[in-house]
Structure 1
Amino acid sequence: MDWTAEIEAAAARIAGHVVRTPVMQSDTLWDRPVALKLEQTQHTGSFKARGAFNTLLAAKVPDAGIVAASGGNHGAAVAFAARRLGHRARIFVPEMAGPAKIALIERAGAALTVVPGEYADAAAMAARFRDEQGAIEVHPYDAPATVAGQGTLMLEWEDQGLDADTVLIAVGGGGLIAGAMAWTHGRKRIVAVEPMSCNALAAAMQAGKPVDVPVSGVAANALGARRIGSICFDLARAQDVQTVLVPDGAILEAQKSLWQAHRLLVEPAGATALAALQWGAYKPEPGERVAVLLCGGNIAPDPLS
């Protein structure tokens, strides 16, 4: 697949539908300056709107509408995009999505079903709905249109003057980091950061293939994929991407430091990449310029709900 062409087409397609999110440099979060991309300021509070809009704008949506399974952020993005484009949407989320993200989906206007269990259980019900009703499914991470949409983030960041050797990105199912890898083609070092308690990419890289992993922890409702997507795995293996793991405590400390230093309110998943720097899971070389992607801001409980 010509990912460069796909991502450029996606960027043109979703222009005017998504936010061009700001960037900044911090001199206080770590012992060297760190470039930040504030994607928590995207529609519905995460990067997921990019893939959702790209998928729906590129497809013919049937009368049965749209269906998606989500840990929360993807469902909110699909619901938002569907409403903006005039389509019906049905979203399936696991109980672990939490009240803040469930409320966000409800505010976006989609029909919502809360499923006992994990994301995989919600995904199974969404697939059954798709097959029975004839709806179009918007996959949260393992579909070319989703990956191309998420890849527009890195295209945009480079257009904003990203001057870094290394970019740290949190990983759940792998759609976001797959888009970054697909766009950069090795021009920058991409480091995958996962919680110790849900680490589907690291497990896959060690096993040589995608495998199921247990899911738990403070970031599980955003990064809690049981198995890494095949698109992400293939790109990561081809580019020999480094994976690092961080504990829940380091994620929470990174989340706290973003608020205290810059009044940036992010969810645990949004702070996971920064935690790799602050905790020392990733140790840059002297002079290495580092950037961190803040991917989501749907904190629970929502302090202003």
Structure 2
Amino acid sequence: MTHQIDRAAIAANYPKIAPYIRRTPVMAVAGADFGLPVESLQLKLELLQHSGSFKPRGAFTGLLAGRLPAAGVVAASGGNHGAAVAYAAMVLNVPARIFVPSIAAPMKIARIKSYGADLVVGGDRYADALAASEEWLKQSGALAIHAYDQPETLIGQGSVGLELEEQVPEIDTLLVAVGGGGLIGGIAAWYGGKVKVVAVEPETAPTLNMALKAGKPVEAPAGGIAADSLAPKMIGSLMFPIAQKGVAESVLVTDDAIRDAQKALWEKLRLVTEPGGAAAFAALVSKRYVPKPGEKVAILVCGSNPTDMAFTN
């Protein structure tokens, strides 16, 4: 596969992964239902993807890119990427070993196990799981499927943008939650500045925000309510130049705003989201992003594997 991460690569890859992923729906909602001054609001429901997040798009792209070694695949993950790689490996009938940190949500750990992968839990953060997976990689000869800093991963995640453009071509703005940056990197590569792409991160894990201010990837805090999905130590090096060109704005939200967004999505729409999945919506709910009059806004609701279900009480 070409290492060029652009619209052409995303379009060429899509037919390869399309038989294995869901083309997730877009829901038009009334901003007034949430007390928001937005006339046109579209939610791309990527939380309905296989394994509960957008991640299978990149996982299948990686697994289908070439001949797989007998040792299968290896991945490090806060949970969602691991579940996606485990799911893709199960579908394609190849072995998978997944490394996750101790902060991974029990629901995500259960998903990984249910897909038949060999699961290794250890360390406190994603970076610990990544280091352990790299050691295993040296010993085993397995194929690494990186959660966000690999061309195939970004090209696969960019298919979210491809679908969204076909489903609602008239949007002005798209809000996307950021962890390591594979998702927003792929989407920004797809749109190429045609749509205003807004990055949303927790204040407790401002990885891209800090990198954009510094002009390069830098180590950032990695905590908060969404730490199992939106808190790598550093933004991906492959996505960063794409973000510099294609991400129009970076905003930060509080953990309380994320909780409020989870609650609102549940109470109004009966959508069960994890903190990372609700983060982009939190930017609107907390007014960290305020659309202009008449602005057509879309939000990516990207994950449904919550650490707990307190917001449904």
With structure 2 as the length reference, what TM-score do the two structures score?
A: 0.94
User: For residues 302 and 59 of structure 1, do their structure 2 counterparts lie closer, same or farther at Cα, with a shift above 3 Å needed?
Assistant: farther
For residues 154 and 195 of structure 1, what CA distance do their matches in structure 2 show?
A: 22
Structure 2 residue corresponding to 1:46, chosen from 49, 53, 75 = 53
Structure 1 residue corresponding to 2:156, chosen from 129, 149, 159 = 149
Post-superposition shift, 1:240? 5.3
Structure 2 residue corresponding to 1:117, chosen from 99, 124, 134 = 124
1:89 — aligned with what?
96
Q: Does 1:8 align with 2:11?
A: yes
For residues 239 and 76 of structure 1, what CA distance do their matches in structure 2 show?
A: 29
Post-superposition shift, 1:302? 6.3
1:241 — aligned with what?
248
For residues 117 and 254 of structure 1, what CA distance do their matches in structure 2 show?
A: 26
For residues 260 and 224 of structure 1, what CA distance do their matches in structure 2 show?
A: 27
1:273 — aligned with what?
280
CA contact (8 A) 2:199 2:247 kept: no
Q: Secondary structure at the match of 1:91?
A: strand
Post-superposition shift, 1:36? 0.4
Cα deviation code 1:21-78 (max 9, x no counterpart)? 0111110232323110000000000000000001101121101110000000000000
User: Where has structure 1 moved over 6 Å in runs of 4 or more?
Assistant: none
Cα deviation code 1:102-133 (max 9, x no counterpart)? 11111111000001210000000111111111
The one-letter code sitting in structure 2 at the alignment partner of 1:5 is: A
Q: Does 1:133 align with 2:136?
A: no
User: For residues 286 and 31 of structure 1, do their structure 2 counterparts lie closer, same or farther at Cα, with a shift above 3 Å needed?
Assistant: closer
2:37 — aligned with what?
31
Q: Does 1:161 align with 2:168?
A: yes
Cα deviation code 1:239-259 (max 9, x no counterpart)? 353100000000000010001
1:228 — aligned with what?
235
Q: Does 1:250 align with 2:253?
A: no
User: For residues 234 and 2 of structure 1, do their structure 2 counterparts lie closer, same or farther at Cα, with a shift above 3 Å needed?
Assistant: closer
Count, aligned residues: 304
The one-letter code sitting in structure 2 at the alignment partner of 1:52 is: A
CA contact (8 A) 1:50 1:152 kept: yes
CA contact (8 A) 2:75 2:97 kept: yes
1:263 — aligned with what?
270
Q: Does 1:179 align with 2:168?
A: no
The one-letter code sitting in structure 2 at the alignment partner of 1:18 is: I
1:67 — aligned with what?
74
The one-letter code sitting in structure 1 at the alignment partner of 2:185 is: A
CA contact (8 A) 1:46 1:297 kept: yes
The one-letter code sitting in structure 2 at the alignment partner of 1:31 is: P
CA contact (8 A) 1:45 1:73 kept: yes
Aligned-residue CA RMSD in angstroms?
1.4
1:20 — aligned with what?
23
Post-superposition shift, 1:286? 1.6
**Structure 1, unpaired ranges of 5+:** none
Post-superposition shift, 1:82? 0.3
Higher alpha-carbon deviation: 139-148 or 234-243: 234-243
For residues 246 and 174 of structure 2, what CA distance do their matches in structure 1 show?
A: 14
Q: Does 1:295 align with 2:302?
A: yes
Higher alpha-carbon deviation: 284-293 or 119-128: 284-293
For residues 143 and 241 of structure 1, what CA distance do their matches in structure 2 show?
A: 23
CA contact (8 A) 1:100 1:302 kept: no
Q: Secondary structure at the match of 1:36?
A: strand
1:213 — aligned with what?
220
Post-superposition shift, 1:2? 5.7
User: For residues 192 and 240 of structure 1, do their structure 2 counterparts lie closer, same or farther at Cα, with a shift above 3 Å needed?
Assistant: closer
Q: Secondary structure at the match of 2:158?
A: helix
For residues 108 and 13 of structure 2, what CA distance do their matches in structure 1 show?
A: 26
The one-letter code sitting in structure 1 at the alignment partner of 2:258 is: I
The one-letter code sitting in structure 2 at the alignment partner of 1:121 is: D
For residues 272 and 161 of structure 1, what CA distance do their matches in structure 2 show?
A: 21
CA contact (8 A) 1:93 1:114 kept: yes
For residues 257 and 302 of structure 1, what CA distance do their matches in structure 2 show?
A: 13
For residues 156 and 150 of structure 2, what CA distance do their matches in structure 1 show?
A: 10
Q: Secondary structure at the match of 1:290?
A: strand
